[in-house]
Chain A
Amino acid sequence: MKKPMNPVTDSFNLERRKVLKSGLSTVLALGLGFFPKRLVATLKSQGRWYGFVVDLTKCIGCGACVRACKAENNVPDGFFRTWVERYTFLKDGRVIVDSPDGALNGFEDNPTIPRSLIAKSYFVPKLCNHCTTAPCVQVCPVGATFVSQDGVVLVDYKHCIGCGYCIQACPYGSRFLNPAGYADKCTLCYHRITKGKKPACVLVCPVGARLYGDLNDQNSEINKVLAGTRHAVLKPELGTNPKCFYIGLDQEVR
């Protein structure tokens, strides 16, 4: 899969002269009231372009991913870089969703719902969708959040002013304000994947429901899985172009 052009983020890949050029054109474009789309989308990354796959048909809701993420990334209590939701469909048509403590301790049977009333049930792990046209990146007033050259949405914690605009702009609830004052989110374990290691949640998943890999590499496992399955992304109507693909996604999941 080729990396699509990204108006928001490719500016980070520009060399110095191009930065100058695009800076000037940006001023010009803003003066004219245009979003500097074509002006900055001149460079296509030839390197890695990370994506993520969640296989909903495999997830058993054990919450190991949530615990691993918390331990690996020191995620503060009450906040989540990844969490698991449980969708319970009742025979009367109601859908009940829960995620007790983000599924940090997995799930237990809901005592208020007798088993005989349940039509079906499944688990949905959630994390940052690492959108190609990430709305959080678009709205950050200081450019502290960005898409890295390899397609990971990251936050520069030392530049973030903690305004919370990105949290409002994320349609997936993937971001939070770290009690230390800056915006925080899933980094796809950037400190690990850049060393060739798997993200913590992928590593610990006992059923292989989580997979990450290079979408630019035709032979990567993730591309093989995507080629062999029907999959979808969350809230495609918002035009965020997520790179987190769900196998077996149901329309009730948002």
Chain B
Amino acid sequence: MLDVESANFVFPNEKHVYWTVMIVLYPYITGLVAGAFIVSSLYHLFQKQELRTMARFALVASFVFLLFAPLPLLMHLGMPHRAFNIMITPHPTSAMAGFGVVYLSYLILVALEVWFSVREDLVNNALKGGKIKRLIFKILALGDLTINEETRALDHKVVRVLSAIGIPLACFLHGYVGFLFGSIKANPWWSTPLMFIIFLLSAIVSGISVLLFLFYLISWLRKVPYEDGVMRVLAGYLWGFLIIDVALEIMEVLSIAYEQMPEWQVLSYLIWHKLFFSYIVVQNLIGSFVPLILLALVNLTRLSNRLAHLFVFLSSVLVLIQVLAMRWNVVIGGQLLSKSFRGFTSYFPGLFEKEGLITAMIIFTIPFLLLRWIDKRINLFPPDSPLGQARSG
């Protein structure tokens, strides 16, 4: 009989939570990568014309997040100077050893796609301005400054092909992150084959949400009207993917609960007590239920565009919080549960620790700053779109 209140027991080595908020951040950032990439592919590959404004921005955002995805991992390693062992001596039976291959191949692909999609801007930059600037951009353009209809067509074609290869790779990258947790048989809160699908879907919804959020933020900063087409299309996709995502997340827990497996005793305690706020309140009520209603209203009723924009903006923020809470609940929640199944440990990151909240916030902010920096040099929005015009003006 489980009696956590009077007889909480954890193995003596379990008093320490080894995977900290850094490991919460890592799948969160990779999720944004995969989601943003898929949004850019909706235009590049599936010709969703309404997303033309956001397509290249989404691609570059994906690239920037990808660059910084390993940083929380590096911060977390006990022996960070040995990080490259994972590439040099990968252990074939380890899911984690796939990191080198999966990450590098995706990084190369996204870098190539970004390069082909900004090539014309690199060339334009290489043709004007100061000597050093011209030289730098000439190097970035790999020396070839030819731009004509033929090169444009080729660039577009390459971008299309790369985004076609990129979609399965993006799914693989994030599915792999889910598999890291789902394949740990020692932990009943992690060990489910659904884990990698849930991670994948939450990646997609978080990627769409971060783009919607940035779309509203930048439109607001540049004082341009919010584009209805972008909102309507992304709201549709966000709603659809969120339905599947939330349904799977709930089904996974429901099936353990209904089967009344021995571990349900501790898992229900985990959900209703240890994770009540982050799982029940934030992840499910505020982060899932509310945006599902808001997005249903946007997609199913004839809301005015003004109200729809407000609802979609709110949903994007809430879904971003939902996915962060989901990562927290998986990564931290799984470690709170003792493998003796007789009790729980507790964890909350400190502010100034090496793996604390300040570090996490800094790591999470850098990609956005880099994105801003790139946009200052290369107009990431089409010059004929309101967002693109407002920048140059």
Interface residues of A (CB under 8 A from B): 7-8, 26, 30, 35-36, 78-80, 83, 85, 93-99, 101-102, 126, 135, 137-144, 159-165, 167-178, 180-183, 238-239, 254
User: Chain B residues with Cβ under 8 A from A173's Cβ?
Assistant: 10-14, 338-340
**B86 and A135 contact, CB distance less than 8 A:** no
Interface status of B7 (Cβ within 8 A of chain A): yes
Chain B, residues 60-93, CB within 8 Å of chain A (1/0): the string is 0000000000000100111110110110011111
Kindly specify which of B31-39, B94-102, B121-129, B298-306 makes contact with the partner chain.
B94-102
**Are B79 and A143 in contact (CB-based, < 8 A)?**
no
Which residues on A sit within 8 Å (CB–CB) of B1? Answer: 93-95
Within the assembled complex, what's the spacing in Å between the Cα atoms of A137 and B97?
A: 12
**Closest chain A residue, CB of each to CB of B97:** A141
B186–A80 touching, CB < 8 Å: no
Instruction: With A143-B89, A163-B76 given, name 9 new contacts (CB 8 A).
Output: A97-B7, A97-B9, A139-B95, A140-B91, A142-B97, A161-B77, A165-B94, A173-B14, A254-B339
Known A-B contacts A30-B92, A80-B13, A143-B91; the reply to A168 vs B335 at CB < 8 A is yes
CB of B186 within 8 A of CB of A168, answer yes
Tell me the complex Cα distance, A254–B266, Å: 14
Chain B's closest residue to A165 (CB) is B96
Determine if A171 and B96 form an interchain contact, defined as CB atoms under 8 angstroms apart.
Answer: no
**Cβ of B46: which chain A residues have Cβ within 8 Å of it?**
none
Mask of B185-198 contacts with A, CB within 8 angstroms, 1/0: 11100000000000
Scan B1-42; emit 1 where CB is below 8 A from any A CB, else 0.
101001101111111101100000000000000000000000
Complex contact A160–B79 (CB within 8 A): yes
A-chain residues with CB within 8 Å of residue B338 when the two chains form the complex: 173
- What are 23 A-B contacts defined by CB distance under 8 Å? A7-B93, A8-B93, A26-B92, A35-B93, A79-B13, A83-B11, A96-B7, A96-B9, A138-B94, A139-B96, A141-B96, A142-B86, A142-B89, A159-B82, A160-B82, A164-B78, A168-B18, A168-B186, A172-B339, A173-B12, A175-B13, A181-B79, A182-B79
Complex Cα distance, B94 from A126, in Å, reads 26
Q: Taking the nearest CB of chain B, how far is it from the CB of A175, in angstroms?
A: 7
**Chain A residue with the shortest CB-CB distance to B191:** A238
Shortest Cβ distance from A237 into B: residue: B185
Cα-based distance from A239 to B185 in the complex (angstroms): 10
Q: Chain B CB within 10 Å — which of A80, A171, A180 has the most? A: A171
Q: Could you say which of A30, A160, A168 has the most chain B C-beta atoms within 10 Å of its C-beta?
A: A168
**Which of chain A's residues has its CB closest to B3's CB?**
A94
Chain B residues contacting A164 (CB-CB under 8 Å) are 18-19, 76, 78
Chain A residues, Cβ within 8 Å of B19: 164, 168
Query: Would you call B339 and A171 a contact (CB within 8 A)?
Result: yes
A59 to chain B, nearest CB (A): 16
Question: Do residues B7 and A95 form an inter-chain contact, with CB atoms below 8 A?
Answer: yes
Q: Inside 8 A of A101's CB, which chain B residues have their CB?
A: 12
Interface membership of B134, Cβ < 8 A:
no
For residue A247, give the distance in angstroms from its CB to the closest CB of chain B. 20
Binary per-residue interface labels of chain B (302-320) against chain A in the complex, 1 for a CB within 8 Å, 0 otherwise: 0000000000000000000
Q: In residues 318-374 of chain B, which contact A (Cβ within 8 Å)?
A: 334-335, 338-342
